[in-house]
A and B are shown apart, each in its own frame.
Chain A
Amino acid sequence: MVNQTERNLYIAQNFTRQLIQKNISPEDVISIHKNAVEQIFPNQMNELQPAYDFLIEVMVHYGMAHREHQSLLQKQAEYEMEMKIATNIQKTLLKTYVPNMKNIDIGMISVPIRKMNGDYVHFFHDGEEYLSVAVTDVVGKGVPAALCMSMVKYGLETLVYAYKDPSYVLEVINRVIEKGVDDSMFVSMFYGCLNVEQNIFSYASAGHEPALHYSAKNDQFFTLEAKGLLLGVLSETNYTFHEIVLEENDLIIMMTDGVTEFRVKEELNSREVITTLIKENRHLSAQQLCQLLYKEIERVQNFKLFDDFTVVILKK
């Protein structure tokens, strides 16, 4: 046989690219090769024929695997397209409208870890008198969590008539979820209602991350804990509510466990990180505080978040 040169091999490799682009299967490639050899060395073909035929036979199976792979790739592209559409629908469906109020400064940030958000924030307000906020977190992430969340949202929307009563809201949503959603789905919710004129904040919680109250007068943080079962566990569950008085420059910080659970640097006390940061920057607006908190916690965790991240801050 003639001497092989690197130049020839390079040309062959470039040719391969074309073959792959044109979807030529491996068995056809060998057949093309066999025919070329036959033309150039007709005398040697008798001996080589069985070897080539053997190789073609083997490669038919590789070709099958290759084509299946091709078709699965196409399927995957279709799934991704569907996912993209679903994500857009979810964004429209679960869009939170942050109210603009005269006497209360409201800030909010919600960042999903995957394409779809398993956290959701819902506001109610009645002119300037009352402001209610629900911070929810579905146990689980991605598509199932998002589907479950749309139910929570529509449940909440039916409660416009009763949004001032945290216990009642949690009890109704609990029944909605318990009846309508798969047994493995649970939702945690912190629900608070602020009577703007009387400065009373009443709240209840269904297995949710406790909120924080920063008292400007005492320059101190208080944890707003409330006991209550996760939503969707038992149909008849009662939730007790608590009340605090809000004073000038006080803050309420509500969040999901994506904010407080540090997986990197577990030795750090997340609540301490949060309270220190807020105390130092309490002069900022509620929205600026939310953004700062996100940036700082992302940095502390080496820019790797493990859960959907949601914070709502109310500033008196």
Chain B
Amino acid sequence: MTYRSSVEIITEWDIVAARQLGRNEAKALGFGTVDQARITTAISELARNIYLYASIGIIAIERVEADTEKKIVVVATDQGPGIKDVRKVMEDGYSTSGGLGAGLPGVKRLMDSLDIQSVVGEGTTIRAEKWLR
């Protein structure tokens, strides 16, 4: 079964709403405190990217509960400027984080997988998943 819910990111406070939603879903699925914090931080980063670079977008949280696997899926969608060179933004030290470890490589490490689809001028969709072990 998949439960899907989402938050629209327009103001900075919507980032908080997205975090809250993500944490609740992670908790409901059975993630421990540390993983809840990791998932929330990843959502925070993705929502912040939307707020800073695309101004408007959506964070959708999917809670997948099947017999064989349980996972949380975070999908960040925006119609912003898009990413010119995806390989570059996935390189450590490339983003403007300046050694804070943030940015998309950081999100990938907090989650289990990260997939980016982006078209310049049209927007970006980022899908991050984390399995419950």
Contacts and interface: CB of A to CB of B under 8 A. Distances in A.
Contacts of A53: 33, 37
Which of under 10, 10 to 19, 20 to 34, or 35 or more describes the interface residues of B? 10 to 19
Contacts of B106: 64, 67-68
Contacts of B127: none
Contacts of B100: 61, 64-65, 68
B102 interface: yes
Contacts of B34: 27-28, 31, 56, 60
A31 B33 contact: yes
Contacts of B14: none
B37 A67 contact: no
A72 B38 contact: no
Contact of B37 (A57, A68, A71): A57
Contacts of A65: 99-101
B88 interface: no
B41 A72 contact: no
Contacts of A27: 34, 37-38
Given A56-B34, A68-B105, 11 more contacts: A53-B33, A57-B37, A60-B41, A61-B100, A61-B102, A64-B102, A65-B100, A65-B101, A67-B101, A67-B106, A68-B106
Contacts of B38: 27, 60
B67 to A, nearest CB: 28
A27 B93 CA distance: 22
Interface of B: 32-34, 37-38, 40-41, 92-93, 99-102, 105-106, 109-110
Choose among A56, A63, A68 the residue with the greatest number of B CB atoms under 10 Å from its CB. Answer: A68
Interface residues of A, number: 19
A45 to B, nearest CB: 12
Contacts of B105: 68, 71
B99 A71 contact: no
B99 A69 contact: yes
Nearest to A66: B101
Interface string A18-30: 0000000001100
Given A65-B100, A68-B101, A69-B99, A56 B92 contact: no
Contact of B33 (A56, A61, A63, A71): A56
Contacts of A31: 32-34
Contacts of B92: 68, 71-72, 75
A56 to B, nearest CB: 5
A57 B102 CA distance: 14
Nearest to B38: A60
B110 A64 contact: yes
Contacts of B93: 68, 72, 75
| Interface-central residue, B33, B37, B92, B93, by most chain A CB under 10 Å | B37
Contacts of B41: 57, 60-61, 64
Contacts of A71: 92, 105
28 contacts: A27-B37, A28-B34, A31-B32, A53-B33, A53-B37, A56-B34, A56-B37, A57-B40, A57-B41, A60-B34, A60-B38, A61-B100, A61-B101, A63-B101, A64-B41, A64-B102, A64-B106, A64-B110, A65-B99, A66-B101, A67-B101, A67-B109, A68-B93, A68-B99, A68-B100, A68-B105, A69-B99, A72-B93
B7 to A, nearest CB: 19
A37 B48 CA distance: 34
A258 to B, nearest CB: 34
